[in-house]
Amino acid sequence: MGEYSFIFTVVCEMCGTTGNISTFFSKTKRFCSISCSRSYSSNSKKTSILARLQVRKYFSSLVFKQSFIFFTQVIQQSAAKAFSWGAYLEKETSLAASVSCFRHAPLCAQWDDITMGMKVEVLNTNAVLPSKVYWIATVIQIAGYKALLRYEGFEYDSSHDFWCSLVSGELNPIGWCAMTSKLLVPPQDVKQNIPDWKEYLMTKLVGANTLPVDFYLKLAENMRTSFRIGMRVEVVDPKYVSRTRMAVIDSIVGGRLRLVYTDQSDAPENTISDFWCHMWSPLLHPIGWSSTVGHAIKTPASVDAAASGWKGNCDSLFLLFKKPRFVYMEGAFFEEGMKLEAIDPLNLGSICVATIHKVLLDGYLMVGIDGTTSNNGSDWFCYHASSHAILPVNFCKKNFIPLTVPLGKSKRASIPSPLQLTALTPADFIFLQDYPGHGFSPNMKLEAVDLMEPRLICVATVKRCVGRLLLIHFDGWEDEFDQWVDHQSPDIYPVGWCDLMGYQLQPPPGLGKTPHLIAIPPCLL
C-alpha cells in the first residue's frame, strides 16, 4: 500500500492539478489559477454533468467506454421527494435479495467477494474543505447493489452512516487515493481523540478485504451484449398472445430491449406501438423462429403497412438467443389434450387448470387456460416444455396455492381423470429437474418488471418461494398485481439495478418519485 497524503496538498477542482495550498488561487483555494476558476464558473451552468464526468474520467475510460450502456446523470425532478432504497429498507426492516441470486445481473458471479466489513475509499462528505477529499469507510450492510457505509473513526456511532451504490464508481479499493494522489482526510465529526490517524488506520486495515481490483472491469464486461439497435426480432404479440410479430430493437438498457413493431398499422393515432422485454425473455425469438417451430406470426395488415413500417437493418440470429433449458424425458413427451396446471400468461398471479392444445417443434407447446372465453385459440400461449410456468396436476394442492378453476366448475370437477393424471408425468418430471436451489426467501426486496406493463420496473417483495417459483408482490399495490416468476427470470433484478442502468424505478405509490434519469450518449465520455 502506498503512503497516504494528508491535507497539506490540494487538488484543483477544474483541472485536477495538485499543489501546495498556499500557492492556490482565491480565498477558497479551490483552483490552481484564475483561468481554472473562471472556466469552472462558466461551466457550472451546464449542471453537474460535466463536473461529474471529469471526476470520473479515470473511471469512465476504464469501465464504460466499451459498454453498451451509457453513463447516466441523475437530475432531481422538481422538489418531489426521491425514493431511497436505503431509507425504505430501514423503514420496512427488510433485507434485499443478494446480487448473487440473479444470474443475469452484472457481477452476479463476483458478488461473493463483496462482504460486510470490507473497506473502501470514498468521498468524505463530512469535511469542510475547499477541495474534494476522501476517507476510508467500512461496509456495514449490503442490500443488492447498495451498501451502508461508515467512515473509519466513528467506531460504533451509526449517526453518520450513509447508503451508496457499490457499482456507481464512487467507491474505490484501498490504495486508490495513494495511487491517484487523492487526499485522505478524517471526517470532522469524529468525537474520539485519535492522535495518530496513520497508525489507527493501519490497525483497522490489517486483514481487511477491499473491492477486487478488476471489479469495474468485470462490471463493464458483464454489461456488454451482442444485441444491437436496428436488429429485427420476433416477439409474442401481447394483444393476440397465440402469435408472434416482428419488431425492431429501438433501444437497449441493461440487457432490456425496447422493441418497436415493424407493422404500426394497429397503433393508435400519433403513437408508436412498442414492447419492453429482456434479451433473455422467453417471449423473444430470432427471425425465422415462428416458421421453424410452427408458431403463428402476424402478417402485415396490408402491403402498405409492410412497406411503410419500421424496417430495422439486420436480422437477429439464433446464436444470440438463450436456449431453453435442456429437457430430458424418458420415453414420453407432452401430447395434445393433456391436462396440467399453468401460470395464466395474462394474469401471472394465478395458476390455473390448463390443457395442451398443440405440440410444436423443438419442445414448444401451445397451452390454453381452461374456461377462457376465446374459442378460436387466440389466447393459447406458447410455453417451452422446460418452462417454469407449466406445472404438474396437483402442484397447487401440494403447495397450498389456490388453483384457479374454469368459471362455473367446482374445484372437484376440474380435477382431471386418472387417465389424464398418468399422462402428466412428463410435466412432473421436468419441473423437478434442473433446480439447484436459490438464495431467495420471503420478505426479501428486489426490483421487478410489471409484466403486464413491461416498461415498468417496480419496488417489489418476494412473497412466497415454492420450488423454482417466486411469488412477487409489488409494494403498495393490490395482491391482484402479484406475479409468479421463475427464480432465474430475467425480469427480476437486485436492489439498485435501475440506478446502475439509469432506468426509472417505480416506487410504491405515494412514496415519492425516483430521480429522473437522463442518459448521456457514449460519445460524451
Complex with ligand MLZ: residue 283 or 459, whichever CB lies closer: 459
Provide the H-helix boundaries in 64-129: 85-92
Single-letter amino acid code for the residue at 4:
Y
315 binds ligand MLZ (CB under 6 A): no
Binding part of the chain for ligand MLZ, among 40-48, 199-207, 253-261, 452-460 by CB under 6 A, reads 452-460
Nearer to ligand MLZ, 384 or 445 (CB): 445
Q: Applying CB under 6 A, which part among 194-202, 303-311, 450-458, 496-504 lies near ligand MLZ?
A: 450-458
Name the residue whose CB lies closest to ligand MLZ. Answer: 474
Residues 6+ apart with CB under 8 A from 449: 276, 278, 456, 457, 458, 491, 492
**Least CB distance to ligand MLZ at residue 453 (A):** 6
Pick between residue 121 and residue 482 the one whose CB is nearest to ligand MLZ.
Answer: 482
DSSP state of 513: B
Residue from 180, 428, 477, 525 touching ligand MLZ (CB under 6 A): that is 477
With binding defined as CB under 6 A, does residue 111 bind ligand MLZ? no
Distance, in Å, from the CA atom of 351 to the CA atom of 344, rounded to the nearest integer, reads 6
| Residue 367, beta-bridge partner list | 356, 381
CB of 510 vs ligand MLZ, minimal distance in Å: 13
Strand partners, 231: 314
> Which residue of 127, 201, 249, 458 would you call a contact of ligand MLZ, by CB under 6 A?
458
Q: Does 431 help bind ligand MLZ (rule: CB under 6 A)? A: no
d(CA 276, CA 258): 5
- How far, in Å, CA of 416 to CA of 406, rounded? 12
Q: What is the 3-state secondary structure (H, E, C) of 325-338?
A: CCCCCCCCCCCCCC
Contact yes or no for 347/354 (Cβ under 8 A): no
What is the contact mask toward ligand MLZ in residues 259 to 298, using x (rule: CB under 6 A)? Answer: ----------------------------------------
Beta strand 403-404 with 390-391 is unpaired
Q: Which stretch binds ligand MLZ (CB under 6 A): 130-138, 150-158, 334-342, 449-457?
A: 449-457
CB nearer ligand MLZ, residue 185 or residue 444: 444
456 binds ligand MLZ (CB under 6 A): yes
Could you tell me how many residues of this chain bind ligand MLZ (CB under 6 A)?
A: 7
Give how far Cα 426 sits from Cα of 89, 145, 431, Å. Answer: 42, 39, 9
Minimum separation from the CB atom of position 323 to ligand MLZ (A): 30
Among 481, 484, 493, 503, binds ligand MLZ (CB under 6 A): 481
Report the nearest approach of ligand MLZ to the CB of residue 104 (Å): 21
257: number of Cβ within 10 Å: 26
Q: Counting contacts by CB under 6 A, is residue 89 touching ligand MLZ?
A: no
Q: 155: which 3 cell numbers?
A: 467506531
The C-alpha angle 436, 442, 448, rounded to 5 degrees, equals: 85
Question: Nearest distance from residue 72's CB to ligand MLZ, in Å?
Answer: 23
Residue 453 interacts with ligand MLZ (CB under 6 A): yes or no: yes
Amino acid at 419: L
Q: Which stretch binds ligand MLZ (CB under 6 A): 15-23, 217-225, 428-436, 448-456?
A: 448-456
149 close to 119: Cβ distance less than 8 angstroms: no
Smallest gap from residue 474 Cβ to ligand MLZ (A): 4
Min dist CB 485 to ligand MLZ, Å, is 13
Q: What is the Cα–Cα distance from 207 to 156, expressed in whole angstroms?
A: 20
Is residue 144 within 8 Å of residue 99, measured between CB atoms? yes
Applying CB under 6 A, among 274, 450, 482, 499 the residue interacting with ligand MLZ is: 450
Nearer to ligand MLZ, 364 or 481 (CB): 481
Q: What is the 3-state secondary structure of 164-203?
A: EECCCCCCECCCHHHHCCCCECCCCCCCCCCCCHHHHHHH
Residues that bind ligand MLZ (CB under 6 A): 450, 453, 456, 458, 474, 477, 481
